[in-house]
């Protein structure tokens, strides 16, 4: 029996992608006046580190992470961060911030000489780590999402957090297979700045 094809993703006027699970994060604000996202930034995250499937990421982005629940959480529970999207290991798409609002995902960063990447980017967190391959289901969801966003928004490039915050960040890491995103967007940072 053949599996049902994944449903087509659509973008509603309020900046939400459907179908996705929507969990509103308070860690967002408006883009600077006249700005629109032109860059897609890929990250990886797992909470606790290298453990998958739990509620830690959703709790962190919702400011409800209990610092007593895991030793690692004590050092991060105070953070006020978010991403627009989170793609779980099974390919589930979770949206925390509408695409017409600025998520707090990139921190101190620069892309092609332009600083403050949060001001002109969308953030996608892949459930994972630097040390383990991502899943086929994640790449399938990421490609569907990136294709939709490239069609509906003025996106012109995709990059990794490691390239916009070198020395500070390492994600999505060496296990991310950039060629599995090829063709979704016109270029990625490896071509734009490193000649890869």
Asked whether the beta carbons of 120 and 150 are under 8 A apart, the reply is no
Residue 182: pLDDT band (50, 70, 90) is: low
Catalytic residues: 125
Quick one: which of 178, 173, 159, 174 has its CA closest to 44? 173
Q: What is the pLDDT averaged over residues 100-123? A: 97
Predicted confidence band of residue 196 (pLDDT cuts 50, 70, 90) = very low
In tens, the pLDDT along 23-56 reads 999 999 999 998 999 999 999 999 999 999 999 9
| Polymer length of the chain | 196
Residue 79 preceded by cis peptide, ω within 30? no
- Identify whether the C-beta of residue 29 lies closer than 8 Å to the C-beta of residue 101: yes
Position 194 scores a pLDDT of: 35
Structural contact between residues 15 and 100, judged by C-beta atoms closer than 8 angstroms: yes
Chain position carrying tokens 């994972």: 128
pLDDT at 119 over 80: yes
> What does the pLDDT read at residue 6?
81
Q: Which fold has domain 10-192?
A: Lysozyme-like (3.40.80)
Domain limits, the chain? 10-192
pTM for this prediction: 0.93
């Amino acid at each position: 029996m053949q599996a049902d094809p994944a449903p087509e993703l659509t973008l509603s006027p309020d900046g939400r992608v459907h179908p996705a699970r929507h969990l509103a994060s308070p860690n967002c604000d408006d883009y600077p006046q006249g700005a629109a996202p032109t860059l897609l930034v890929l990250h990886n995250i797992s909470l606790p580190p290298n453990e998958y499937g739990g509620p830690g990421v959703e709790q962190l982005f919702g400011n409800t992470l209990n610092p007593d629940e895991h030793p690692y959480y004590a050092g991060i529970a105070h953070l006020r961060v978010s991403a627009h999207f989170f793609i779980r290991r099974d390919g589930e798409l979770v949206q925390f911030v509408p695409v017409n609002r600025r998520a707090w995902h990139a921190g101190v960063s620069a892309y092609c000489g332009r600083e403050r990447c949060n001001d002109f980017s969308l953030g996608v967190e892949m459930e994972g780590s630097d040390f383990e391959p991502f899943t086929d289901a994640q790449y399938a969801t990421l490609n569907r999402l990136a294709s939709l966003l490239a069609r509906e928004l003025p996106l012109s490039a995709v990059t990794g957090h490691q390239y916009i915050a070198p020395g500070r960040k390492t994600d999505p890491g060496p296990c991310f297979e950039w060629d599995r995103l090829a063709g979704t967007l016109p270029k990625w940072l490896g071509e734009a700045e490193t000649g890869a």
